[in-house]
Structure 1
Amino acid sequence: MLDRRQALRLALAAGLLPASARAQTGPGWRATRPVRLVVPFAPGGSNDIVGRIIADTVGQILGQPIVVENRAGAGSMIGAEHVARSAPDGYTVLINSAHAAVPAIVARVPYNTVTDFAGVAVAGFSPHVLVVNPQLPVRTAQELIALLRANPGKYNLSTAGRGSGAHIAAELFRAVTKVDVEVIHYRGGGPSVAALVANESQLGCPTMASSIGQVRGGSLRALAVLAEQRSSALPDVPSAVEAGIPEVVFEEFFPIVAPAATPAPVLDALGAAFRTAIQQNAAKLTEMAGVTPRAGYETPEQVMALVREGVERYTAILRAAGVQPE
């Protein structure tokens, strides 16, 4: 197994590290035991899928295994609080696409989303998808809207939990289309998609990562990718613009963060390892999860700036939809 210096040297030679990471390949922090990557949702959701795609590569670079640990509950707050209160030693990190969404919808969050964490990397960005159970007699977004308006309160809409990206996407869809549906919150993306497949809920706006397999397999019907353009991961599914709901454009991002007091050398090493792993697995992230990595998040400050902007945007969406924090 490669140790961290060997792996970074090979990555540097292959041109895989961004400039900021290449400047930090000298002596620094080195992991001496496994690193836990906390996923604050049940297995099978988007964060779980993305985390597991990159975990092995990160482990090879650091020279220690990356253990994916699911700590589901309270719309990701249980897992996030655990990481915020963990020792800032580099051995506990969090991947949480709902991280910026929680304070927009929860009145009393037991940690500060920005100041209690330090940025490590951003695994990528992914649009949500408007999906229905195939038993629902609709094949377009406009047919779905018409059916829901004709049957107020009859159908259930599943989310990955209160405050999740799927919840915010759902509220945006409800506000724009003015439909009356019952919102049902599940404990993560995996359970919410399972409920859609089982027809416990008839529609939802899950992440592409948590639903792409079911869409491709035919157990869910995708009516629109909630983006301005089609996704190469689901090329036959119309964009929100093409589907006639251009105001319902919503994508999530996957920040990877550590406890706030984590020393700079530790963040440098973790950041370089995660960014390299993300770049090396970019094609797999897009193909398997519909997640597209983007440049521009090479420092802890850039990662946390994205989180801060997300809090502001999600809050604006929910307030416009008439949703107040509880």
Structure 2
Amino acid sequence: MTIKRRPLLLAGLVAPAIARAQAGWRPDRPLRMIIPFAPGGSTDVIGRVVAETAGTLLGQPFVVENRAGGAAGLIGTDAVAKSAPDGHTILVNSNAHVVTPSLVARMPYDPAADFAAVAHLGRVPQVLVVNRNLPVTDLASLLTWLRANSGKINFASAGIGSANHLTSEVFRAAVPGVEMQMVQYRGGGPAMQAVISGDAHMAVDPVASAISHIRGGTVRAIAVAGPTRAAILAEVPSATEAGLPAFDNAAWFAAFVPVRTPAPAVAALNAAFNTAMERLRPRLGELGVEVQPQYATPEALMAFVRADMARSAAVLRAAGVQPE
């Protein structure tokens, strides 16, 4: 019943926004979509998929620009913060948007105060995987093994502040008394390879990129971080049902514009992105992206952003990460 109601909920939120947008702002030239990471990553792929349909709805194409550099996408995000607030420059970012203040001591912008939220572009669940030769088959046996090997465990991570790293730290905090060495790699791919080779015992990775390794038998999936199973990895239990509800975190993606962007422009962009997300739901599902209708309005999304910024800061402080 819940699955059937969610599209109706999103449709109910989107329809009034579309009506408002049609009566107001329309872009008068191609739109810039700045993605603050290199091409090929999850943020880039999701942004480009949604941009194509959203551009058609708005009557102007999106020109995607990858502006990688700086901690957690600092350079590209700052470029959007300082761009003209006319609705024609849009930032598509991940959790990195709220993590940056925990990594950078002198921020050139405020992730909440300097941006207006436009649309949530879905979440991608994270999955905990272990080396296939580890003598564990589920979360209970893994916890037993971890407690017996405290101080000897290498936990591969995809770089400080990444969604993988945050989820890894959430797991570490959920099993107090077990000492694990967090080993930082230059991305999720190298971290996964470390688990496959045995250089690391375990890692967290988005289900979309981990699924081929899990199905291929090169790593063993233990649990999906969160209360529910991942749609594309339905055979793997959630952490909550496996008995560790505190292990809950996922990667998320969203679109933003500079804070002084006129409300009619924000409404039109919000309607286009939400409609695109609904139309692309099956395709996004193949990428492991789960649409989140509860954040369909800019107000709901901004409340989520502020809450996640505080939560992420607490996780990183507890892990000993200090801004530099």
Partner of 1:5: none
Q: Provide the TM-score with structure 1 as the length reference.
A: 0.81
Shift of 1:219: 3.7
Change (3 A) 1:187 1:54: farther
Counterpart mapping for 1:4-83 below 5 A: 17-38=14-35, 40-62=36-58, 63-67=60-64, 69=66, 71-83=68-80
SS at match of 2:97: coil
Change (3 A) 1:294 1:215: farther
User: CA–CA distance in 2 between the matches of 1:73 and 1:138?
Assistant: 38
Shift of 1:195: 4.8
Moved more, 266-275 or 136-145: 136-145
SS at match of 1:241: helix
Q: CA RMSD in A?
A: 2.9
Partner of 2:85: 88
SS at match of 1:267: helix
Change (3 A) 1:324 1:16: closer
Shift of 1:37: 3.5
Partner of 2:160: 162
SS at match of 1:275: helix
Which residue identity does 2:53 align to in structure 1?
T
Asked whether the equivalents of residues 102 and 164 of structure 1 are also in contact (C-alpha less than 8 Å), the reply is no
User: CA–CA distance in 2 between the matches of 1:140 and 1:302?
Assistant: 36
Q: Provide the TM-score with structure 2 as the length reference.
A: 0.82
Asked whether the equivalents of residues 72 and 97 of structure 2 are also in contact (C-alpha less than 8 Å), the reply is no
User: CA–CA distance in 2 between the matches of 1:70 and 1:197?
Assistant: 31
User: CA–CA distance in 1 between the matches of 2:73 and 2:185?
Assistant: 11
User: CA–CA distance in 2 between the matches of 1:176 and 1:102?
Assistant: 24
User: CA–CA distance in 1 between the matches of 2:53 and 2:16?
Assistant: 20
Moved more, 88-97 or 117-126: 88-97
Whether 1:185 and 2:184 are equivalent positions in the alignment is: yes
User: CA–CA distance in 2 between the matches of 1:43 and 1:218?
Assistant: 28
Asked whether the equivalents of residues 46 and 210 of structure 1 are also in contact (C-alpha less than 8 Å), the reply is no
Shift of 1:325: 3.0
Give % identity: 39
2:144 alignment partner, one of 143, 146, 156: 146
SS at match of 1:24: helix
Change (3 A) 1:158 1:251: same
Change (3 A) 1:153 1:225: same
Unaligned runs of 5+ in 1: 1-13
Asked whether the equivalents of residues 118 and 255 of structure 2 are also in contact (C-alpha less than 8 Å), the reply is yes
Partner of 1:231: 230
Asked whether the equivalents of residues 98 and 309 of structure 2 are also in contact (C-alpha less than 8 Å), the reply is yes
Asked whether the equivalents of residues 127 and 224 of structure 2 are also in contact (C-alpha less than 8 Å), the reply is yes
SS at match of 1:224: strand
Shift of 1:92: 3.8
Counterpart mapping for 1:1-326 below 5 A: 17-38=14-35, 40-62=36-58, 63-67=60-64, 69=66, 71-89=68-86, 90-104=88-102, 106-178=104-176, 179-193=178-192, 195-197=194-196, 199-299=198-298, 301-319=299-317, 321=318, 323-326=320-323
Asked whether the equivalents of residues 43 and 190 of structure 1 are also in contact (C-alpha less than 8 Å), the reply is no
Unaligned runs of 5+ in 2: 1-10
SS at match of 1:147: helix
Change (3 A) 1:236 1:77: same
Shift of 1:217: 4.0
Asked whether the equivalents of residues 193 and 210 of structure 1 are also in contact (C-alpha less than 8 Å), the reply is no
User: CA–CA distance in 2 between the matches of 1:293 and 1:246?
Assistant: 20
SS at match of 2:96: coil
Which residue identity does 1:142 align to in structure 2?
A
Larger helix share, 1 or 2: 2
Asked whether the equivalents of residues 17 and 267 of structure 2 are also in contact (C-alpha less than 8 Å), the reply is no
Asked whether the equivalents of residues 20 and 267 of structure 2 are also in contact (C-alpha less than 8 Å), the reply is no
User: CA–CA distance in 2 between the matches of 1:114 and 1:80?
Assistant: 12
Which residue identity does 1:91 align to in structure 2?
T
Aligned residues: 310
Which residue identity does 1:18 align to in structure 2?
A
